[in-house]
Amino acid sequence: MFPPGNEVAQDYLSNMENLWFMEPYNSITMIFTFDAKFIAELRAIAKGELEAMPSRIQVVLGFIWKRSMAASRTISDPLNHLY
């Protein structure tokens, strides 16, 4: 996959730089903190019968992904929770 087989056009790169790195930077940063007990509970839930114990990072990213997908479904179909 990397590096790409064909070079990316220079004008495309400059357009992306202009979109991403223009001032003022309109970005939002969020910090999530999870306590050790919560992570331990998530790890116990995520552990399969034949699988090794997942890492803390795997568990937290999986939790965030699962909740993001649930929120996305709710936004796209508010009646989804009824099914």
Q: Is the model more confident about 59 or about 11?
A: 59
Where in the sequence is the domain holding 78, given as residue range(s)? 29-82
pLDDT at residue number 52: 80
Q: In this structure, is the dihedral angle defined by the CA atoms of residues 54, 55, 60 and 64, taken in order, positive or negative?
A: negative
Strand, coil or helix: 7: coil
Structural domain includes residue 13: no
Structural domain includes residue 47: yes
Structural domain includes residue 48: yes
pLDDT tens-digit profile of 25-78? Answer: 666 778 888 999 999 998 988 887 666 888 899 889 988 999 888 888 877 776
Q: One-letter amino acid identity for 83?
A: Y
Residues 43 and 63: beta-carbon distance below 8 Å: no
Q: Is the pLDDT of residue 4 over 60?
A: no
Domain count, the chain: 1
Structural domain includes residue 5: no
Structural domain includes residue 70: yes
pLDDT at residue number 38: 93
Structural domain includes residue 42: yes
In angstroms, the CA 8 to CA 28 distance is: 29
Structural domain includes residue 8: no
Structural domain includes residue 23: no
In angstroms, the CA 74 to CA 80 distance is: 6
Centroid of chain to Cα 48? 22
The whole-model pTM stands at 0.53
Q: Is the model more confident about 18 or about 47?
A: 47
